[in-house]
């Protein structure tokens, strides 16, 4: 089997590092910001704290697709430099803030550095079609590992350098990410649009009216709204029983158990075709966890147990949701479906923070989790009624066809092969997008057809 080249390996690892350097700063502030901001001059109210926690999500939701589109026109690295510069600027604004309003401003500017889509597009430029899924998987794992490490290291860093120090470190890491892009990440010889990795504006309407995809969009919206609302009140609740510099002792075992516990469920879902059962069970577990947090918000042991269930469900859903999008989206619209999905995720971050803060201030801390429970319960009803996702995987194959008529003929021929559920050949890209059965498909026949073409 053909392996990734050294250039592909370097591109994948270095871009995963860029993601990690950026996301560490975003994540590590979550478990400590509420504790710091409540004592700031100018009124660190729960609502303003929630806005500070979520405002970056609003900016990313509005700008992540435009950043990706601009990278098609002005170059991947150029847009990544601009985004990381904005992110660093926002970090330094927040580091020097003396009131909650400047922290909100800094977090907003951080969010304008919405480089995720541009980085994914650069990954697609630097990897061949048959290895692109590996590159995306490495990036996904780097984000998950960074999240877990941030939950543990954030409270430690708060003790050593304080929250302003964390913001300053975040800015430095963004500058380090720019250095990685400049001197480590290869520069692609040619950049083009990749339908499997980028948003195509003309496909957005089609994706938005797909009811099965909308269930998943509502799901990622709900999941991240619940997560960001959690950080409005949980750090304060933990601090009532445990000094903040020891909060890592809570997060470390929770993160380890949640990551290890999610692996068997993912294998059961993907390898043995039990995706819907595992997925619905995870949503039900998330619903139970948010309800238990509403009940045990004032009890340390009960809250820790509920947090353990929450992050087990969270990590499992974070892993399975993108896979479901890939299985359900039309073969040639996967990138657009994921772009819309990510926008819903970012909107969830904003709503979870802002509305969570509002409820905590005007109703009470438990109300944050009552709202999350209602949101997740609605998601559970949608998940239970969804169609079982097909047991398919996506394959991308290079083709020599460059005219529309030839692409249409090859698409029809590939569609007729055993185990091929859907096939679309895009002449302008020279790529065949296939959805094939996970158990078996006629790969030899597909290669023969492509070679004849």
Q: What is the CATH number of the domain that holds 432?
A: 3.30.70.100
Half-sphere exposure of 371 (CA within 13 A, CB side): 23
* Range(s) of the domain holding residue 305: 203-389
**Residue 1, pLDDT above cutoff 80:** no
* Average pLDDT estimate for 110-120: 96
Helix, coil or strand: residue 437: strand
Query: 415 and 271 share a domain?
Result: no
pLDDT averaged over every residue in the chain: 94
**In degrees rounded to 5, what are phi and psi of residue 385?**
-95, 0
Q: pTM here? A: 0.95
Q: How many domains does the chain have?
A: 3
| pLDDT computed for residue 450 by the predictor | 87
Does residue 21 sit in the same domain as residue 125? yes
State both tokens at 210. 């797909």
**Same structural domain for residues 309 and 212?**
yes
Over residues 313-329, the pLDDT tens digits come to: 999 999 999 999 999 99
Give tens-digit pLDDT for 352-385. 999 999 999 999 999 999 999 999 999 999 999 9
Q: What is the dihedral of CA 381, 386, 392, 394, to 10 degrees?
A: -80
| pLDDT beyond 90 at 281 | yes
pLDDT in tens, 175-205: 999 999 999 999 998 888 888 899 999 999 9
Looking at the structure, tell me whether residues 298 and 400 fall in a common domain: no
Residues 115 and 223 in one domain: no
Q: Verify that 165 and 314 share a domain, yes or no.
A: no
Q: Both 261 and 314 in a single domain?
A: yes
Residue 215 confidence (pLDDT): 97
User: What backbone torsions phi and psi does residue 337 show, to the nearest 5 degrees?
Assistant: -60, -40
Q: Are residues 217 and 189 in the same domain?
A: no
Same domain, residue pair 186 and 287: no
Pairwise CA distance, residues 111 & 88, whole Å: 10
Q: Nearest 5°: CA angle at 204, between 83 and 353?
A: 55
CATH code for the domain in which residue 291 is found: 1.20.1250.20
Q: Which pLDDT tens digit goes with each residue over 434-448? A: 999 977 899 899 989
Domain boundary among 198, 230, 251: 198
Helix (H, G, I), strand (E, B) or coil at 435: strand
């Amino acid at each position: 089997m053909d392996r990734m080249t050294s250039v592909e390996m370097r591109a994948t690892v270095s871009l995963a590092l860029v993601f990690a350097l950026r996301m560490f700063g975003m994540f590590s502030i979550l478990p400590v910001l509420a504790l710091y901001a409540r004592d700031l001059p100018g009124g660190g109210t729960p609502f303003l704290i929630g806005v500070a926690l979520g405002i970056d999500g609003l900016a990313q939701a509005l700008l992540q697709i435009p950043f990706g589109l601009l990278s098609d026109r002005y170059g991947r690295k150029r847009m990544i430099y601009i985004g990381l510069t904005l992110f660093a600027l926002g970090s330094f604004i927040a580091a020097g803030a003396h009131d909650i309003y400047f922290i909100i401003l800094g977090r907003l500017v951080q969010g304008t550095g919405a480089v995720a889509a541009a980085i994914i597009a650069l990954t697609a430029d630097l990897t061949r079609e048959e290895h692109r899924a590996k590159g995306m998987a490495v990036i996904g794992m780097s984000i998950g590992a960074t999240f877990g490490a941030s939950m543990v290291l954030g409270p430690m860093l708060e003790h050593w350098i304080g929250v302003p120090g964390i913001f300053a470190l975040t800015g430095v890491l963004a500058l380090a990410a720019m250095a990685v892009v400049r001197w480590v990440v290869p520069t692609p010889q040619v950049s083009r649009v990749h339908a499997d990795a980028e948003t195509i504006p003309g496909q957005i309407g089609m994706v938005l009216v797909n009811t099965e995809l909308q269930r998943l969009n509502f799901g990622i919206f709900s999941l991240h709204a619940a997560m960001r609302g959690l950080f409005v009140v949980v750090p304060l609740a933990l601090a009532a029983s445990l000094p903040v510099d020891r909060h890592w002792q809570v997060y470390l075992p929770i993160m380890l158990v949640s990551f290890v516990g999610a692996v068997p469920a993912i294998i059961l879902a993907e390898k043995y075709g039990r995706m819907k059962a595992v997925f619905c069970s995870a949503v039900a577990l998330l619903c139970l966890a948010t309800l238990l947090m509403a009940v045990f918000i004032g009890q340390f042991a009960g809250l820790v147990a509920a947090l353990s269930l929450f992050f087990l469900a969270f990590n499992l859903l974070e892993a399975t949701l993108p896979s479901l999008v890939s299985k359900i989206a039309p073969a040639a619209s996967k990138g657009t479906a994921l772009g819309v999905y990510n926008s819903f995720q970012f909107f969830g971050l904003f709503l979870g923070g802002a509305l969570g803060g509002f409820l905590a201030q005007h109703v009470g801390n438990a109300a944050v989790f009552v709202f999350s429970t209602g949101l997740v319960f609605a998601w559970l009803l949608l998940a239970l009624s969804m169609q079982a996702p097909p047991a398919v995987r996506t394959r991308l194959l290079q083709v020599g066809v460059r005219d529309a008529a030839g692409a249409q003929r090859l698409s029809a021929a590939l569609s007729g092969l055993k185990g091929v559920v859907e096939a679309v050949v895009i002449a302008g890209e020279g790529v065949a997008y296939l959805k094939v059965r996970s158990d078996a498909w006629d790969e030899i026949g597909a290669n023969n057809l492509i070679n004849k073409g």
